[in-house]
Amino acid sequence: MRGAADVIVVGGGPAGVAAAVELRRNGVERVMLLEREADLGGATRHCSHSPFGMREFGRIYSGPAYARRLAAEAERHGVMVRAGHSVVSLHENARLTVACNGVVSELEAKRIIMATGARESSRAARLLPGDRPVGVLSTGALQAYVALHGLMPFRSPVILGSELVTFSAVLTCLRHGARPVAVVETLPYALARTPASWFPNLAGIPFFRGAELLDIQGRTRVENVRISHGGITRDLACDGVLVTGRFVPEASLFLSSGMGLAQAAQAPAIDQDGRCANPLYFACGNVLRAVETGGWAFREGRAVGAAVARDLAHPIAAPRVAVTFAPPIKLVVPGYVRAEDTARGALGEFQLRFTTRVRGELSLELDGARVWSRRGEFLPERRVLVPMPTGLQAAQRISFCFREG
Ligand SMILES: Cc1cc2nc3c(=O)[nH]c(=O)nc-3n(C[C@H](O)[C@H](O)[C@H](O)COP(=O)(O)OP(=O)(O)OC[C@H]3O[C@@H](n4cnc5c(N)ncnc54)[C@H](O)[C@@H]3O)c2cc1C
């Protein structure tokens, strides 16, 4: 449908809802929110635990209660919510192909905001060895079983990983009648910060760091996981395996439409306002980089929503300058900077991730001159924030450098 809305937001998680509400608060008349599930809330709908919402709503919610608050906010601000609508392709000129109840149609707007989130990588993507029995799940799948069907699919799983979401998996098991046999991390350290990483030990669950997964065994169901830890081979009798974390952006729509994916991040390449290579498209939330908290995604959505409202009034045509970097830096968001007339973009900081644990000096150079640096230890999957310096938008070369030592 031509002119279906001024702005269409794809994805009704914290980022998408915040962007849609902010557009309405900035006077944009027709804001449509497309969500493929029946309800808004995204990944938070299934997280039965808290904390969600403290910074954005000033109180602590469980995941489902937070999701309901998001839905209420969208309604209160007059967002046109279209649940059960899956976007299946993106086109030039801000046009989308959308499927709903077996009917495929086209919707067009002045701008599109993509907020499709991230997903945990599957067993296959992690190249885990062993048999292929039933009972290997991600945290998201486990929480959907529990929240939507009241089912706990195992009694004694082994949990792989050590990101924040891993401890969400432990909590979900303990709250719903399962007792994890062990938490297993291949790295010699936990990826989540303390105190979250103390949680398995506090709950009396063995936490093997620096362990190698040798085998997943079982004829029909998972029966055993074999690991090597500290030179000893251990058999962990269990009835399931939870593969947690290693999130990847849900960016397949960008990939299939050939729209500027930042290779390192496997995410849409954006500038400081969340604007994509095609300037009619914007993106926010976990689709930009795996993975952040719900509150972070919400604030990012709100900032990008405000930027889109500005862009509708004053479109920007300035060329983009790429932000360059090399390993061990894994990704930088935003990956581009455009010269604008506003002092600051929607994203006031660069966000970086590292591929591995390193110690040394991280620096930012504009046109070859160092404008910022920090020395220290950097761990994978940990957020590193670098404030955007003055003079950034005039620079022709923007690079992050890392020197070990
Ligand atoms: C198991 C788990 C536990 C967590 N625990 C916490 C916690 O305790 N505290 C915390 O702060 N954060 C937690 N998080 C993180 C938090 O949920 C996310 O950071 C947040 O939901 C990200 O918001 P988002 O809007 O970017 O993406 P999502 O919440 O992932 O929302 C994306 C939405 O886009 C929709 N979508 C995707 N593709 C399409 C399409 N083609 N068409 C239409 N719709 C589409 C999806 O259905 C989804 O609703 C947890 C996450 C997980 C997975």
Phi, psi torsion values for 243, nearest 5 degrees? -95, 115
Percent of the chain with pLDDT over 70: 98
pLDDT single digits (tens) 181-198: 999 999 999 999 888 888
Question: Which protein residue's CA is at the shortest distance from atom 37 of ligand 1?
Answer: 116
Unique residue bearing structure tokens 């954006």: 270
Query: What is the distance between the alpha carbons of residues 239 and 151, in angstroms, rounded to a whole number?
Result: 15
Assign domain 1-121+246-317 to its CATH architecture: 3-Layer(bba) Sandwich (3.50)
Average pLDDT over residues 295-319: 93
* Domain 1-121+246-317 and domain 122-243 have a common topology: yes
Architecture of domain 318-405: Sandwich (2.60)
More confident of the two residues 49 and 234: 234
Residue of 116, 145, 298 to mutate, ligand 1, most atoms within 8 A of C-beta: 116
Ligand 1: residue of 9, 47, 351 to mutate (most ligand atoms within 8 A of CB) is 47
How remote is the CA of residue 285 from the centroid of ligand 1, in Å?
A: 8
Candidate of 9, 36, 44 to mutate for ligand 1, largest count of ligand atoms within 8 Å of Cβ: 44
What is the per-residue pLDDT for 342? 60
Q: Which amino acid residue places its CA nearest to atom 2 of ligand 1?
A: 165
Q: Is the pLDDT of residue 169 over 70?
A: yes
CATH architecture of the domain covering 122-243: 3-Layer(bba) Sandwich (3.50)
Report how far ligand 1's centroid is from the alpha carbon of 41 (Å): 7
- pLDDT average, residue stretch 155-179: 94
Mean pLDDT calculated for residue range 227-240: 96
* pLDDT band for position 130 (cuts 50, 70, 90): confident
Residue nearest to atom 49 of ligand 1 (CA): 42
Residue nearest to atom 20 of ligand 1 (CA): 294
Q: Please state which of the ranges 231-240, 297-306, 332-341 shows the lowest mean pLDDT.
A: 332-341
pLDDT tens column, 330-359: 999 999 999 875 656 799 899 999 999 999
Tokens representing 330 are: 């894994």
> Could you tell me the pTM of the whole model?
0.94
The structure tokens listed for 194 are: 């303390």
Cα(294) to ligand 1 centroid in Å equals: 7
Tell me the pLDDT tens digit for each residue of 46-67: 888 888 999 999 999 999 999 9
Residue ranges per structural domain of the chain: 1-121+246-317, 122-243, 318-405
Q: What pLDDT was estimated at residue 3? A: 75
